[in-house]
Amino acid sequence: MTELLERPQSALPEPVPVQVTRPDRGKLLRFLGHRPGLVLSLLMVAFVLVAAFAPGLLAPGDPGVGDTAERLQPPSPAHIFGTDYLGRDVWTRVVHGASLSLQATVIAVAVALVIGGLIGLLAGFVRGWLDDLLMRVVDVLLAIPAVLLSLALITALGYGTVKVAIAVGVASVASFARVMRAETLRVRQATYVEAAYAVGTRWYVTLWRHVLPNAAGPVAVLAVLEFGLAILAVSALSFLGYGAPPPAPEWGSLVAEGRNYLAVAWWLCALPGLTIAATVLAVNRISRALDGEWRRFR
């Protein structure tokens, strides 16, 4: 029953042999030249990163200050995303909200990666009853829808950007544990691991120096894919009101604020939501490119 519930593991690449040759610039240009969508995605992600780390470059204004005389203005050259019910510039709020939303997403993926990775590494390396126990726990995590698991965690932890991020991260531990375990099982059969044992390397050194680096590749690809899912989950929880308290311009809560003015000001919901969608699409496109597309390209 669970085969198809797993992430498409076949889509994960074989271990990438470490390339010693320098990256070929001509190949990179040709690769991107055939993929305008990928170029757009890279630009979008670059834009979000700039917005997160240097919001002032893209929107010099203050996201919390508005001119009530200019309230509910539709998009125009002066306010390209329009203004909200307090006259605050929506573009400025979206740009300044990027850091909060990105921060939550990074924490969520990090939590899932570290906890899931450790569970998978232990299960695959130690095997035996521990493997059985850990994988059964992972199966159970898959039986509870991720949103409900996140909500249960929020009930226990409380509100806030970081708590929402942790809740989303813990809810997506299961897929990381599965991929990491499968990779560890594969790598520990390798001759170099056997050789490490043969020369008397301690098990934890073997695990850290030999198994982990060679099993990490597919898990890293999964992490990029998980990024898109985490953006969606974090923004949904923030839309429901569990994120940072109101004045903070988190992307999900921007859409929630605009909801009350849906009939009179379409841009309040449409444009921040479109930003979320574009970011997720861009991240997913990049994860597809990382997922073997580059290696298959000649």
Partner 1 sequence: MNAAALVRYVLRRIGLAIAVLWAAFTVSFIVLYLMPGDPVATMAGGGLDGEPLTPAELDALRARYGLDQPLIVQYGQHLWNALHGDFGTSVQSGQDVRAAIAEALPPTLQIATAGLVVAIVGGTALAVVATFTRVRWLKQALLGLPSLAVSLPVFWVGLMLVQIFSFGLRLFPSVGAEGPASLVLPAITLGLPTGALVAQVLAKSLDQTLTEPYVTTARAKGVGRAAIHLRHALRNAAIPALTVLGYVVGNLLAGSVVVETVFTRPGIGRLTVAAVGVQDIPLVQGIVVFAAVVFVLVNLVVDLTYPLLDPRIATGATA
Binding residues for partner 1, per CB under 8 A?
A: 1, 3-5, 136-137, 139-141, 143-149, 151-158, 228, 232, 235-236, 239-242, 252, 255-256, 258-259, 262-263, 266, 269-270, 273-274, 276-277, 280-281, 284
Nearer to partner 1, 215 or 276 (CB): 276
Question: C-beta of 122: minimal distance to partner 1 in Å?
Answer: 18
Question: C-beta of 283: minimal distance to partner 1 in Å?
Answer: 9
Residues 109 and 169: beta-carbon distance below 8 Å: yes
- State both tokens at 281: 């699409």
Residues 25 and 288: beta-carbon distance below 8 Å: no
- For 89, the 3-state DSSP assignment is strand
Nearer to partner 1, 139 or 293 (CB): 139
Q: Which of 281, 6, 282, 277 is nearest to 139 (CA)?
A: 6
Question: C-beta of 194: minimal distance to partner 1 in Å?
Answer: 32
Nearer to partner 1, 216 or 280 (CB): 280
Distance CA 71, CA 86 (A): 5
Distance CA 275, CA 272 (A): 5
Nearer to partner 1, 8 or 128 (CB): 8
**Alpha helices (H) along the chain:** 25-33, 36-53, 55-58, 90-126, 128-143, 146-157, 161-171, 173-187, 191-198, 203-206, 212-239, 251-259, 267-288, 294-296
Nearer to partner 1, 211 or 265 (CB): 265
Nearer to partner 1, 79 or 288 (CB): 288
